[in-house]
């Protein structure tokens, strides 16, 4: 469903200016559901309606309150808000007491996690015992086992936001599949057309993904589940989401006719009974081969177990190399030594 043409809408960039937010703060506000957007059309970016501005401006703490709810802080600033050291805060977030809201890579390709300042302050008010003194034994044991839940908690938060914004059941299944490795998805989704449909509906990468190949590889690794129990959980969730999506409609296959809200299979298979037709018996005589004995009487074609002698020599021939290998060998023989095309340097892959 697209937005009503009569309603006034603005682009995300203009909406960020209207709400007095930076671009990254506006994107975070949309992800958290603080700012509602509407689809503007097929394949177009989502826009913000004028009545959404009226709703946000009606708040008594606008714009400072909205800006505070989307303020993201790093480890040092978060530790300063709680009055603890950065090392203690890192131990608390590694054990899952505070979930990161986004991440970035610095120039040394190290992962920098960011947290909502509002959630950090709420954690300090709800768990004051963890801010002073020795950490509990359970937390110390988990730290000794090198447990780090920051990436997993970020993925869980991102999946919750994606599922909340997806109305189509296939889009929800695609959101779950985006957290799994392609091999894991192929093991759960047997139909290749369903996998293609899920890949088409795959949500875009999180904002701020690096463009450099090495840095992008590190960032993409953080977006996929790596723990065995996390992978199992998402596999089960994907299977259940697929059952729900298939119950509503099947994934598009080749030959489907797509209409506005209607999808119909175009091909229809009709079984037609063909009457039996008598085939006359044809006699085949093998031509005489020089230096060979004259073949026997003619053999009717189609007789059970009867094969002409000229054909049996071909059928009984031992299998040779595949046709592709023979073709490549003939192709190579047609070129002289050093006549091949010079190898060119591969062009670097441009990330989307």
DSSP code string of 182-248:
HHHHHHH---HHHHHHHHHTPPPPPTT---SHHHHHHHHHHTS--SHHHHHHHHHHHHHHHHHHHHH
CA distance 119 to 25: 16
Provide the percentage of residues in the chain whose pLDDT is more than 70: 69
Q: 10 with 18: CB under 8 angstroms? A: yes
Q: How far apart are CA 112 and CA 109, in angstroms?
A: 9
320-340: pLDDT as tens digits: 444 444 545 544 554 444 444
pLDDT reported for residue 128: 92
Of 19-33, 47-61, 236-250, 262-276, give the lowest mean pLDDT range.
262-276
Mapping DSSP to helix (H, G, I), strand (E, B) and coil, where does residue 164 land?
helix
User: Confidence class of residue 158 from pLDDT cuts 50, 70 and 90?
Assistant: very high
pTM to 2 decimal places: 0.68
Region 287-315: mean pLDDT is 44
Report residue 46's pLDDT band, with 50, 70 and 90 as the boundaries. Answer: confident
Q: Are 120 and 73 in contact (CB under 8 A)?
A: yes
Both tokens of residue 335?
Answer: 């070129």
Query: What's the pLDDT band for 205 if we cut at 50, 70, 90?
Result: confident
pLDDT > 90: percent of the chain: 45
Residue 149, pLDDT above cutoff 90: yes
The answer to whether 130 and 75 are in contact (CB under 8 A) is no
CA distance 96 to 130: 13
Q: In angstroms, rounded to a whole number, what is the distance separating the alpha carbons of residues 296 and 298?
A: 7
Backbone φ, ψ for residue 114 (5° rounding): -120, 150
In the chain, what is the straight-line distance between the N-terminal and C-terminal CA atoms, in Å? 27
pLDDT tier, 268 (very low <50, low <70, confident <90, very high otherwise): very low
């Amino acid at each position: 469903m697209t937005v009503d043409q009569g309603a006034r809408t603005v682009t995300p960039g203009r909406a960020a200016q209207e709400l007095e937010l930076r671009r990254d703060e506006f994107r975070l506000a949309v992800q958290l559901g603080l700012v509602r957007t509407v689809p503007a059309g097929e394949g177009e970016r989502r826009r913000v309606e004028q009545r959404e501005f009226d709703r946000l401006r009606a708040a008594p703490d606008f714009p400072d309150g909205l800006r505070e709810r989307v303020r993201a802080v790093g480890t040092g600033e978060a530790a300063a808000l709680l009055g603890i050291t950065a090392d203690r805060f890192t131990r608390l977030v590694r054990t899952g007491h505070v979930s990161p809201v986004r991440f970035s890579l610095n120039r040394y390709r190290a992962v920098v996690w960011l947290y909502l300042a509002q959630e950090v302050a709420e954690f300090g008010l709800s768990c004051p015992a963890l801010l002073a003194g020795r950490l509990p034994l359970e937390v110390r044991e988990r730290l000794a086992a090198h447990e780090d839940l920051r990436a997993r908690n970020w993925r869980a938060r991102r999946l919750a936001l994606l599922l909340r914004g997806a109305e189509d059941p296939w889009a929800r299944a695609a959101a779950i599949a985006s957290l799994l490795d392609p091999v894991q998805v192929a093991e759960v989704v047997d139909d290749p057309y369903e996998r293609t449909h899920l890949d088409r509906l795959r949500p875009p990468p999180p904002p701020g993904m690096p463009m450099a190949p090495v840095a992008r590889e590190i960032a993409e690794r953080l977006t996929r589940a790596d723990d065995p129990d996390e992978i199992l959980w998402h596999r089960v969730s994907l299977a259940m989401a697929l059952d729900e999506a298939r119950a509503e409609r099947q994934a598009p296959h080749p030959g489907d006719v797509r209409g506005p809200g209607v999808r119909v299979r175009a091909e229809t298979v009709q079984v037609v009974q063909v009457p039996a037709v008598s085939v006359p018996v044809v006699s085949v005589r093998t031509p005489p081969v020089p230096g060979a004995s004259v073949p026997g009487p003619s053999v009717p074609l189609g007789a059970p177990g009867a094969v002409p002698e000229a054909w049996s020599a071909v059928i009984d021939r031992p299998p040779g190399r595949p046709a592709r290998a023979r073709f490549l060998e003939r192709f190579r023989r047609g070129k002289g030594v050093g006549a091949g095309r010079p190898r060119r340097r591969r062009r670097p892959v441009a990330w989307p």
